[in-house]
Amino acid sequence: MSQLKNDLLLRALRKEKVERPPVWMMRQAGRYLPDYIKLRDKYDFFTRVQTPELATEITLQPVNQVGVDAAIIFSDILVIPQAMGLEVLMEEGKGPSLPKTIKAQSDIDALNTANAEEHLKYVLDALSLTKKELAGRVPLIGFAGAPWTILCYMVEGKGSKTWDKAKQFAYTQPQLAHALLQKITDITIDYLKAQVKAGADTVQVFDSWAGSLSPEDFKTYAQPYLLQIADAVSKDAPVILFPKGTWYALKDLSRSSASGIGIDWTITPQFARELTSNNITLQGNFDPAKLLAPVPQIKQWVKEMIDGFGAQNYIANLGHGITPNVPVDHAKAFVEAVKEYRI
């Protein structure tokens, strides 16, 4: 740890005193950066993900150009279904599709959960290379998709607003759903532990579609697997859980072995603090669409957000990924506003 020049993120996750909150942005290495678009026009998506040199270059862009306090490895949550033996196609502008979906026990039995390190070696190589290139400037974040979110894609076969098929699968065949969730959990734990070994200082678990579940169903199909991952991986590195749209689970999750919880903009900072009794670091929750407002307004809103959370036990971030239409100088203004914050 001592070789990190900027360890604000790790200190915030350990609930140590910081002079200002750390800041990074979900999807910070991506479509709003002109240099990323150049690489996107040259190489297809999975070539970028699976070529460590390209993934490293993309991971470093926001550190060099926007000044964030952490790098997050350029990858995708759907590398897990790929490692498990499913084909994943990615069409620019259209999102992912899985030609073969999970319908029956035989489909689940056919899934591979062994040798995560071997199947996902390209991610681990990208982490090691990025770690070297960063030379201790900022911490490096690894990540994976949460079991419920991965199940959604595996059953639905593509993105959805409502995830009807995935929910029907869970509600009509709960035993199959739990068997699938457990398989995803097992390989994800191995994968995240391998990421830490390869150089990740902390890891985040993205449960992007957790908010499609009712509080009761979240407790059944999402929470137990998030907690399993946090319990297993937190022995190796701090874990941040980000189940989007599930403010109702904050109390339970704040008692977990996770070090941080990401929240979106559907809850006030004050209420999030109240629900978690300030016993876990919170991350969020700026609406990315607000980055399209004039710069002075962005800076004002950021200050109000930090005032709301309090500067300690807090990581400034967005409530979801940055969108492609955000001007780079607006992203910079967000980061600068956090860096200018005075306690």
Taking residue 42's Cβ as centre, other Cβ atoms within 10 Å add up to 10
173-183 burial by CB neighbour count: b if 16+ within 10 A, else e?
beebbbebbeb
Strand locations in 34-139 (E): 71-72, 89-91, 95-97
Q: Which residues contact 223 (CB under 8 A, 6 or more apart)?
A: 249, 252, 253
Residue 264 among the catalytic residues? no
Residue 40 among the catalytic residues? yes
User: Is residue 206 within a helix (H) or strand (E), and if so which, with residue range?
Assistant: strand 202-207
| Catalytic entry in 27, 32, 186, 201 | 27
CA–CA separation, 231 and 36 (whole Å):
35
Q: Which residue has the tokens 């978690």?
A: 276
| Catalytic entry in 7, 69, 76, 207 | 76
| Catalytic entry in 32, 36, 153, 314 | 153
CA–CA separation, 187 and 317 (whole Å):
28
CA–CA separation, 126 and 231 (whole Å):
25
Residue 76 among the catalytic residues? yes
| Catalytic entry in 31, 43, 107, 287 | 31
The answer to whether the CB of 122 falls within 8 A of the CB of 52 is yes
| Through-space distance between the first and last CA atoms of the chain, rounded to whole angstroms | 25
What tokens were used for 142?
């690894």
The answer to whether the CB of 56 falls within 8 A of the CB of 29 is no
Residue 31 among the catalytic residues? yes
Write down how long the chain is.
343
Report DSSP letters for 30-51, one per residue. Answer: STTSHHHHHHHHHS-HHHHHH-
Known binding residues for substrate are: 27-31, 46, 76, 153, 208, 320
CA–CA separation, 28 and 108 (whole Å):
34
Known binding residues are: 27-31, 46, 76, 153, 208, 320
Residue 137 among the catalytic residues? no
Rounded to 5 degrees, φ, ψ at 284 are 140, -155
The answer to whether the CB of 130 falls within 8 A of the CB of 70 is no
| Catalytic entry in 35, 40, 252, 287 | 40
Catalytic (active-site) positions: 27, 31, 40, 76, 153
